[in-house]
Amino acid sequence: MTNCSVDNLSIEFATDKGTVRAVDGVSFEIPKGKTVGLVGESGCGKSVTALSIMRLIPTPPGHYAGGQIHYQGQNLLELPEPEMRKLRGNRISMIFQEPMTSLNPVFTIGNQIAEAICLHEKLNYKSGLEKAIHMLELVGIPSPKDRAACYPHQLSGGMRQRVMIAMALACKPDLLIADEPTTALDVTIQAQIMELMLQLQQEMGMSILLITHDLGVVAETCDQVVVMYAGRVVEQADVQTIFKHPKHPYTVGLLASVPGNLDKGGGSGGQARLQTIPGLVPNLLNLPQGCRFQDRCSRATDPCRQIEPELTPVGSHLFRCYNPY
Amino acid sequence: MLTITDLKMHFQSKAHTVRAVDGVSFHINAGETLGLVGESGCGKSTLGRCILRLYEPTSGKIGFQNQDITHLSMHAMRPIRRHLQIIFQDPYASLNPRMTIGNIIGEALQIHNLFIEKKTRQERIQELISTVGLRPESISRYPHEFSGGQRQRIGIARALAVQPQFIVCDEPVSALDVSIQAQIVNLLQDLQERLKLTYLFIAHDLMIVKHISTRIAVMYLGNLAEIGPSKELYEDPKHPYTKALLSAVPIPDPTHPRSRIKLTGEIPSPINPPSGCKFHTRCPYVMPVCSQIEPPLTALGKNRQVACHLYSSG
Ligand SMILES: Nc1ncnc2c1ncn2[C@@H]1O[C@H](COP(=O)(O)OP(=O)(O)OP(=O)(O)O)[C@@H](O)[C@H]1O
Ligand SMILES: Nc1ncnc2c1ncn2[C@@H]1O[C@H](COP(=O)(O)OP(=O)(O)OP(=O)(O)O)[C@@H](O)[C@H]1O
Ligand SMILES: [Mg+2]
Ligand SMILES: [Mg+2]
C-alpha cells in the first residue's frame, strides 16, 4: 500500500542568472511501512524533493513548477497551510540535513523538543518535557536530564543531530523524511539510531524516506532505492537489484567510489587513490541537449547527445539510459 | 610537527563541568595524516579546536614546530595561525550567508595579506574554486544557493587559500556523497603530496579514515583508547572499543551477513565520567580492576599504544 507518492514533481528557483529547475519531473512512491533510499550527487535535488513533501520550499525564490504529492489520498501541494501545519511535525516529520540551522540557539534543547510535543499532543509542559527527556535517552544522549538544559552550541555536532532525531520521532510520525540523519554520528550510534527508526517502523508501520550518501546504510536499511542526477531520477529498483545489477553508468560509478572496495591500497596513508566519476555535474542553468550525464559517461554515444533517454521500466527496475550495463 | 601533551579541556558551567578532553597526548609527524575517530561527543572537535587555539585549554601543552604555542598571545599567534587551518564539520554554520563565495575565500587572503593585488587575488580565488571542483561562476553566488556538499567544498577552498602547513579536517567529507567524497579525499591527498601538508583528519566514516590515514587515534570520552598505524589497527584492533567500532561499519552489500558487537549499558557522560577505565560500563571484557584504576596508554609492540587492562602485563 502506498503511503505517499510523488508524481512528476518539478521545483524551480529564481536566481539572478535565470530559473533553475532543481527537481525535474521526479516520481516515486513510498509504500507503507517501507524505507525508500534517495541517493545521488551533491546538488542533485534530494533535499529540495524532501522539503517539498513537507511543503517547506521557500517561495520565493522557490516555485512548485508542476506535479503532485499524494499523502493518504490528498494532494499536499493543494492543502491549505493550516491543514499542512497540522500534519507537519506530527503525521509527517523531517530530520533536517543541517541541525544547527534548524535548532533555535536561544532555547534549551529540552524546551524545543517539549514545545514540539505539546504543539501536537494534548500534554502540559511538564509532561512534554518528561517525554522530551525520554526521547533524548532513546537516541542515546547520555545524562539526558542535564543535557535537556543545554543550548545547541554546548553540544557536539552528533548530539545536535540526535536532538533533531528525537524531535522528529517524538510524535511518532507516520511518514518520516530523514535527510542525512546520521552523517554526523559515529557508526555505533548510527547503528543504534537506525535500529530505533526501524523499530518504530515495525511497531507503527511508519514509512521512511531516507536521504543518505552512505551506501552501507542504504544497503542495510532500505527496501527501495531511487538514484537522482541533476534533478532527474536516473535509476530506481529494490535494494538488492541496485547493488547487484546497477544499470545506469552513474549508479555504477557511485558504487565504485566506495572506499570499502579498495582493500589493496588502503591504509597506506598515501599512494592509493579512490575511484571517482570524472568531471562535474552540469550547470542546471545550461543543461546539455540529451542525457545529463553524457559528459562524464564512458558509454556515451551519439543518441545520448541528442535526446534525453526516458526512464524506462524493465520489470520493476527503472533506468534512464540508452547504453545500460 | 605537532605535539600535544596531557591536554585537557573542561567546559565549566554553573551546574556542571564537562570534561570534553581529559588528558590526551600524541604527536603528528610532518607530512602524515593522523586519523581521529571515536564516539560522537567524545571530544574530537574540541581537541581540534584547542590545537588551533580557538579554545583556551584547561591544562596541557601544544607544541607546533618545536615551539610551545599553548599560551602565545593573539599577536604572537598571528604568523603561526596562517599555517594552522581548519575545515569545519558544519559547512553551513561556518559560512557567512551575506558574503559571496569569492568574498568568503578572499577574506582569508586579506586577513593574512596574501595576493594583495586585485587581479592576482581574483585569479587565486578562481584557482581555488576550480581546485575544489566548483563551477567558475560560483564566485559571485551566496552560500544558500549551494547544496550541503557544495558548501563543504567552499570551506575547503577557504582553508587552502592561505597555503597552510597543518589542517584540522573536522569531518570534511561527512556531508558529501561518495563520488564527491572520493574526489575530495583524492584532492586532499594530492594537495598533501604537492604542498607537504599535515592533517589531523576527524571522521566517522572508518573506511575513509583507513584510506587516508598514516596512523589512527581512537578516542573514547575525552581520552585516547588506542593509537597505531592505520593498517595494523584495522587488521588487529586491540582495545574493545575499537573492536566494537569496527564491527559497526555498515557494509554496502545488502546480502552481506553482519556480526555487530553490540555495546550494552548506558552511554556515559563527560559530565560525570565512570571511574577507572571510562569504557568499563559498556565493555564486554570488563574485569574488576577496570572500574578502579584508569589504564594508562602503554606501548604495545613497536609503534602501537593502547589504554586497556587486558594488555597490561602482570
Ligand atoms: N534557495 C535556493 N536558491 C537557488 N538555488 C537553490 C536553492 N535551494 C537549492 N537550490 C539549488 O537546487 C539544487 C538542489 O539542491 P539540494 O539541496 O536539493 O541538493 P542535494 O541533492 O540535497 O545535495 P546535498 O547532497 O549536497 O545535500 C542545487 O543545485 C542548489 O544549488
Ligand atoms: N562550547 C561548549 N560549551 C560546553 N560544552 C561543550 C562546548 N563544546 C563542546 N562541549 C561538550 O564537549 C563534549 C565534546 O564535544 P565535541 O564537539 O568535541 O565532540 P565530538 O567528538 O566532536 O563529537 P561529534 O562527533 O558529535 O562531532 C560534548 O559533551 C559537548 O557537549
Ligand atoms: Mg541535501
Ligand atoms: Mg565534532
pLDDT of residue A268: 44
Q: Which residues contact B110 (CB under 8 A, 6 or more apart)?
A: none
Asked whether residue B205 is domain-assigned, the answer is yes
Residue numbers of the domain that contains B176: 2-83+164-238
pLDDT of residue B133: 80
pLDDT single digits (tens) B81-109: 889 999 887 666 778 889 999 999 999 89
pLDDT of residue A269: 45
**Chain B CA closest to residue A222:** B254
Angle at which helix A187-204 crosses helix B240-247, to 10 degrees, equals: 50
Band (A271; pLDDT cuts 50, 70, 90): low
Please report residues of B whose CB lies closer than 8 A to that of A283: 135, 137
Q: CATH number of the domain that B174 lies in?
A: 3.40.50.300
Residue B147 Cα to ligand 3 middle (Å)? 6
Q: Which residues contact A122 (CB under 8 A, 6 or more apart)?
A: none
Asked whether residue B79 is domain-assigned, the answer is yes
Please report residues of A whose CB lies closer than 8 A to that of B175: 42, 97, 180, 183
**Does ligand 1 lie within 6 Å of residue A22's CB atom?**
yes
What is the separation of C-alpha A29 from the centre of its chain, rounded to a whole number of angstroms?
A: 14
pLDDT single digits (tens) A286-322: 899 999 999 999 999 999 999 999 999 999 999 999 9
Asked whether residue B41 is domain-assigned, the answer is yes
pLDDT for residue A263 is more than 50: no
CA distances from B280 to B17, B65, B114, B286 (A): 21, 37, 51, 6
Asked whether residue B36 is domain-assigned, the answer is yes
What is the separation of C-alpha B13 from the centre of its chain, rounded to a whole number of angstroms?
A: 25
Band (A267; pLDDT cuts 50, 70, 90): very low
Asked whether residue B288 is domain-assigned, the answer is no
pLDDT of residue A116: 85
Residue B216 Cα to ligand 2 middle (Å)? 20
What interface predicted TM-score (ipTM) does this complex get?
0.77
**Does ligand 1 lie within 6 Å of residue A284's CB atom?**
yes
Q: What is the distance between the alpha carbons of residues B236 and B192, in angstroms, rounded to a whole number?
A: 27
CA distance A160 to chain B (A): 10
pLDDT for residue A261 is more than 60: no
pLDDT of residue A266: 40
pLDDT single digits (tens) B246-268: 988 888 888 887 777 777 776 78
Fill in the amino acid letter for A270: G
pLDDT single digits (tens) A38-93: 999 888 999 999 999 999 999 888 999 999 999 988 999 999 999 998 898 889 99
Average pLDDT for chain A:
89
Q: Which of A137-141, A220-224, B58-62, B197-201 has the lowest mean pLDDT?
A: A137-141
Asked whether residue B91 is domain-assigned, the answer is no
pLDDT single digits (tens) B198-221: 999 999 888 889 999 999 999 999
Band (B313; pLDDT cuts 50, 70, 90): low
**Does ligand 1 lie within 6 Å of residue A13's CB atom?**
yes
Q: How many domains does chain B have?
A: 1
pLDDT of residue B73: 87
Angle at which helix B101-111 crosses helix B148-161, to 10 degrees, equals: 20
pLDDT of residue A39: 95
**Chain A CA closest to residue B186:** A273
Following CA atoms A134, B286, B260, B216 in sequence, which dihedral angle do they give, to the nearest 10 degrees?
A: 100
Q: What is the distance between the alpha carbons of residues A304 and B150, in angstroms, rounded to a whole number?
A: 27
Asked whether residue B138 is domain-assigned, the answer is no
Instruction: For residue A138, give the 3-state DSSP assignment.
Output: helix
Beta carbons within 10 angstroms of residue A78's beta carbon: 11
Cα angle: B192, vertex B195, B197; to 5 degrees:
50
Inform me whether the C-beta atom of residue A269 falls under 8 Å from chain B C-beta atoms.
Answer: yes
**Percent of chain B surpassing pLDDT 70:** 97
A189 vs B136, more confident: B136
Instruction: For residue A275, give the 3-state DSSP assignment.
Output: coil
- B234 phi and psi angles, rounded to 5 deg: -75, -40
pLDDT of residue A264: 40
pLDDT of residue A248: 96
Q: What is the distance between the alpha carbons of residues B178 and B180, in angstroms, rounded to a whole number?
A: 5
Grid cell digits, residue B72: 602565545
**Percent of chain A surpassing pLDDT 70:** 96
Average pLDDT for chain B:
89
pLDDT for residue A135 is more than 70: yes
**Interface size between A and B, measured as CB pairs under 8 A:** 207
Asked whether residue B129 is domain-assigned, the answer is no
**Does ligand 1 lie within 6 Å of residue A42's CB atom?**
yes
